[in-house]
Structures are given as C-alpha cells and as structure tokens.
C-alpha cells in the first residue's frame, strides 16, 4: 500500500554516494525532508532535475529542509554522478533489493526496473505532507516544490 498524505512516511535506511547509512528517522524532529525519486543517474531529464535542485539548494536550506535523491542506481554510480554534477546532498542507492524503498512509496515501476519520477515532502514529525508524481520525461517544477515546502510546518 503506497504512502498517503497525512500518514507516516515509510521508514528506510539506504547508503549514499559516500557509503554513509542514511535513515529517514535521522531527520525526525530536526528538518523537513524533500525526497526526490528519479529514474536513473546520467539520463538527460534527471540531469536537468538535479541541476535545478543544486541551483536551488540554498532555498531548500532556508526552508529548513534536507533534500534526498533516491534511484535504483548503485552507490558507485551515485558517487561518480554527484562528483560530476556538484551534488552535495545525499543520493541514496535503492539498489539491493532493487526498488524496495520506491515500492514502499508506490513509485517503483517493476516492469521497467526503475522508480518513476516523484517528489515527496515529509514534515518534521515524519508525516507525508505533500507528494506529486511526474511523467518520466518531465522535469519537476522546483518552484512548485518550494512553495509546497514553505506551507509545511
């Protein structure tokens, strides 16, 4: 059953591009979280999406939020991608078992072996406050995400 607005965000623990274990609960009571599910490192649309996130990182920080990117790529792919793109927020490897966290959020596309493109905002209490799915070839409107984030207590 996918995550629902107002309900608890499904917990997870994944490694980032620096092999650091990141848990959603690490941010509970401290920061809002912007979970950015994207299909694959290195693809053109994902690259544009991350370029927008990197450019607007300060805005997310001002709104007291931590951005976390999640895809089915490996830690090593994330490391090379983050280094190339100048990404300084965690890119989490939903690699083994493939798409397990995406499945919890209802965004894993088993027939394609990737997650879809979606953004989830989780409040400081660990509840899902906002969510939007995007078509895979569409770059999310980061301004829309920022506005939604500004409305989350």
Query: Which residues are identified as catalytic?
Result: 46
Backbone angles phi, psi at 99, to 5 degrees: 75, 15
Q: Backbone phi, then psi, for 62, in 5-degree steps?
A: -65, -30
Q: What is the 3-state secondary structure (H, E, C) of 65-117?
A: EEEEEEECCCHHHHHHHHHHHCCCCCEEECCCCCCHHHHHCCCEECCCCEECE
Task: Decide: 13 and 23 in contact? Cβ < 8 Å.
Answer: yes
Cα–Cα distance measured from residue 69 to residue 120, given in angstroms and rounded to the nearest whole number: 11
């Amino acid at each position: 059953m996918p995550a629902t607005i107002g309900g608890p965000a499904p917990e997870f623990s994944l490694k980032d591009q620096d092999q650091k274990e990141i848990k959603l609960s690490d941010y509970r009571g401290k920061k809002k979280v912007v979970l950015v599910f994207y299909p694959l490192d290195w693809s053109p649309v994902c690259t544009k999406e991350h370029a927008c996130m990197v450019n607007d990182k300060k805005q997310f920080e001002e709104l007291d939020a931590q951005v976390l990117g999640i895809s089915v790529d490996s830690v090593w792919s994330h490391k090379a991608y983050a280094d190339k793109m100048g990404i300084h927020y965690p890119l989490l490897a939903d690699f083994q078992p493939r798409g397990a966290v995406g499945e919890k959020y209802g965004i894993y596309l088993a027939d394609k072996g990737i997650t879809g493109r979606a953004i989830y905002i989780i409040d400081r209490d660990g509840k899902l406050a906002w969510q939007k799915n995007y078509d895979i070839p569409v770059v999310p409107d980061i301004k829309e995400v920022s506005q939604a984030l500004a409305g989350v207590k």
